[in-house]
Amino acid sequence: ETGVTQTPRHLVMGMTNKKSLKCEQHLGHNAMYWYKQSAKKPLELMFVYSLEERVENNSVPSRFSPECPNSSHLFLHLHTLQPEDSALYLCASSQRAGGGGNTIYFGEGSWLTVV
Amino acid sequence: GQNIDQPTEMTATEGAIVQINCTYQTSGFNGLFWYQQHAGEAPTFLSYNVLDGLEEKGRFSSFLSRSKGYSYLLLKELQMKDSASYLCAVMDSNYQLIWGAGTKLIIKP
């Protein structure tokens, strides 16, 4: 139990579907993140939210749409995805969005397969 | 560009010692992190180094040399449960985390 929970753990969707990934953190943190993890590649930062405000968007395609209704919840809305979007999507949180020694805590991830 | 290099895969024997190296070239440095990730699970925090030297935590130690852009994670008395991927990440001058691709460690009996 890392204090960051993600649902669903596994998702298979067609290219025309719309689905959402959900993340909840129970650590009282002020920053939340979405990362993409593909096999044998470094973690790719997608979005960063600090106190529910998006502070970073790393040139992510618009078919990925984040939503942060409060500092404990984060969503990733998915629509018209491509097969190359199949990956492990990790949610994470930290005390703040920047600063030295800012340790990030990850959820267990949502395995996404686009068919 | 910014770059983190670590070996793709390593194999070691139960009870032995293994050292996983990480070299980095980043714009600035605000600390280096090591994470452990078991297959299908969340990456979990292992260590943070911001000053040169060795930090020891039980069977795991992490070393940093800022002048050489180099770190290693040392695992002693290896156990089968240590089979996992180990991720190295450096925080740059903008406090952005730059990640390595991870080292898959296989422990054999």
Predicted confidence at residue B5, as pLDDT, reads 97
Of B31, B42, B87, the CB nearest to A101: B31
Give the minimum alpha-carbon distance from B109 to chain A in angstroms, rounded to a whole number: 25
Query: B101, B89 in Cβ contact below 8 A?
Result: no
Cα–Cα nearest to B31, from B84, B76, B94: B94
From first to last of the 109 residues of chain B, give the pLDDT tens digit.
789 999 999 999 999 999 999 999 999 999 999 999 999 888 999 999 999 999 999 999 999 999 999 999 999 999 999 999 999 999 999 888 999 999 999 999 9
Question: At a CB cut-off of 8 Å and minimum separation 6, what does B45 contact?
Answer: A103, A104, A105, B33, B35
Size of chain A in residues = 115
**Contact yes or no for A104 and B45 at CB 8 A:** yes
Interface of B with A in 37-76 (CB under 8 A): 40-45, 48, 50
Q: How far is CA B38 from CA A5, A97, B87, B102, B105, in A?
A: 16, 26, 11, 12, 10
